[in-house]
Amino acid sequence: MNALEIHKLGKMYNNTKVALLDVSLEVPEGSFFALLGPNGAGKSTLINILADTVRPSSGSISLLGHELFLERAWCKRRMGVVPQEIAFDPFFSPREILRFSRGMYGQKNDDTWVDELLERLELTEHAHKITRQLSGGMRRRLLVAQALVHRPKVVILDEPTAGVDVELRKRLWDFMRELNAAGTTILLTTHYLEEAEELCDHVAIIDQGKVITSQSMQALLGDVASSSLYLRYAHTLQLSSQDRAALAGFYPRINQGQLCLTLNKLGETSNFDQAYQLARQCFGSPLTVTVGQEDLEDVFLRLTGEKKSEKQGGTTG
């Protein structure tokens, strides 16, 4: 069964701005699902519709086989959402907030689970402080704890690690992995693509309110990923529109300071020479040249960039 089935979901703000356009997605039960997209792609709108803080304009969603818009209460009890924006009740301590959160989901207090959550999210020593006294990272971890306190079957995390340091991020993901291994479906959005690649078994990329691709991570990196040419220069490169035009066939982009050019789909004939010569004409000789398989970040940049250039072409053409 799918944990989530989203069918032709649409959202238009103020009858003018299209945020989602016929988005259809399937999130398998028990999966660790990455929902990726550039800023403004519609990820948060999608999550806010799931969370019932934004109304959809069209479409339907089912959660574990139940219609979300018809059986809200049933679905809400099985869903935990970490909103992107930090929110905290200034009157109460983390422990009180967790107790209230659990109660509002219709569940009796469970101090053992609350203690465990506080401990796993490293909030135990701050459990009695008023939330105003917590740092940004602590408040974000508290949001994660709030989403988990009623033991949901589907956990939705909208940028849960923004502003959380590397070490804590790692421990947070270890915890999420454990929950996932125990059967919880996890849907997350993140800008840390290496983390998504490492953690998730499924991935969907959305841009400008549309789904560009949705498949297993293995399939995406196996079938969609191409081999790429990575050229490192002594100076930081800026891609002018002229450079983009000259290298158009190779989806030029800057990734981690390197110029990346897509050569071909894996297994197809390489056009290495042509790409290398064109790059030299534009930027001169590079310091290092590497050929490798694209990682998730490359695929993401290429697919979202690819779409943008299509649109630009469409507009000018």
* Among the listed residues 26, 52, 110, 306, the single contact to other proteins using CB under 8 A: 52
Using CB under 8 A as the binding rule, whether residue 55 contacts other proteins is answered as yes
Does the protein bind other proteins through residue 88 (CB under 8 A)?
Answer: yes
106 vs 136, beta carbon nearer other proteins: 106
Applying CB under 8 A, the span of 1-9, 36-44, 52-60, 189-197 interacting with other proteins comes to 52-60
**Nearest-approach distance from CB 257 to other proteins, in angstroms:** 36
Q: Are 114 and 102 in contact (CB under 8 A)?
A: yes
- Residues in Cβ contact with 116 at an 8 Å cutoff, skipping those fewer than 6 apart: none
CB under 8 A: which stretch of 47-55, 61-69, 165-173, 228-236 binds other proteins? Answer: 47-55
The answer to whether the CB of 137 falls within 8 A of the CB of 167 is no
C-alpha closest to that of 32 among 197, 158, 206, 220: 197
Under the criterion CB under 8 A, does residue 83 sit at the interface with other proteins?
Answer: yes
The verdict on 273 binding other proteins (CB under 8 A) reads: no
Residue 73 in the binding site for other proteins (CB under 8 A):
yes
CB 115 within 8 A of CB 123: no
CB of 77 or CB of 232, closer to other proteins:
77
DSSP string covering 25-67, please? EEEETT-EEEEE--TTSSHHHHHHHHHTSS--SEEEEEETTEE
Q: Which amino acid does the sequence have at 14?
A: N
Contact between 119 and other proteins by CB under 8 A: the answer reads no
Q: How far is CA 156 from CA 49, 63, 147, 181, in A?
A: 12, 12, 8, 16
Q: Write down the least CB distance from residue 13 to other proteins, Å.
A: 7
Q: Is 22 left (phi over 0), alpha (psi -120 to 50) or beta?
A: left
**With contacts defined by CB under 8 A, how many residues of the chain interact with other proteins?**
33
- Minimum separation from the CB atom of position 271 to other proteins (A): 47
Q: How far apart are CA 46 and CA 49, in angstroms?
A: 5
Can residue 87 be called a binding residue for other proteins (CB under 8 A)? yes
Residues 6+ positions from 215 with CB-CB distance below 8 Å: 202, 203, 204, 223, 224
**Coil, helix or strand for 162?**
coil
| Member of 1, 85, 182, 245 binding other proteins (CB under 8 A) | 85
**Cβ closer to other proteins: 3 or 47?**
47
Instruction: Give, for 188, the enclosing helix (H) or strand (E).
Output: strand 185-189
128 belongs to the binding site for other proteins (CB under 8 A): no
Nearer to other proteins, 90 or 183 (CB): 90
Q: Which residue stretch of 24-32, 106-114, 227-235, 257-265 sits at the interface with other proteins (rule: CB under 8 A)?
A: 106-114
Q: Is 76 among the residues that bind other proteins (CB under 8 A)?
A: yes
Rounded Cα gap, residues 311 and 293, in angstroms: 27
Q: Which is nearer to other proteins, 107 or 215 (CB)?
A: 107
The per-type count for the chain, helices as H runs and strands as E runs, is 11, 14
Among the candidate windows 22-30, 89-97, 119-127, 228-236, which touches other proteins by CB under 8 A?
Answer: 89-97
| Contact residues: other proteins, CB under 8 A | 13, 48, 51-55, 72-74, 76-77, 81, 83, 85-92, 96, 99-101, 103-108, 146
